[in-house]
Amino acid sequence: MPNITVRNIPEELLNKLRTLSTMERRSLNNEILIILEKGLARESNRNSRKTASRPKDADIFIAATAATRCDMLITGNVKHFNRIAELRIENWLR
């Protein structure tokens, strides 16, 4: 398995890692690996949620305008707006 060396770890951080590894009855190395895995998984989930579920600013403005001023929104991009319950959406391109 590959190895890495981490230098210049602040003393306070190292003490926290040691305390946590002792509490969890793990080696310091195993505790660091678990923390890295959890952090990377959390970051990966956060990035996938940002790209997959956040509508673009222009879509937000279009949806807000249509919801307050129009009877329906006509669009070819139904998937951009179908999560907004207040909108009646029609796709005339189908």
pLDDT of residue 30: 93
pLDDT of residue 51: 58
Residue 6 in this model has a pLDDT that exceeds 70: yes
Structure tokens at 85: 């319950």
Residue 63, burial from CB neighbour count under 10 angstroms (0-12, 13-18, 19+): buried
Which of the pair, 83 or 36, is modelled with greater confidence? 36
Structure tokens at 37: 């895995």
pLDDT tens per residue across span 17-66:
999 999 999 999 999 999 999 888 888 777 666 555 566 778 888 888 88
pLDDT of residue 67: 82
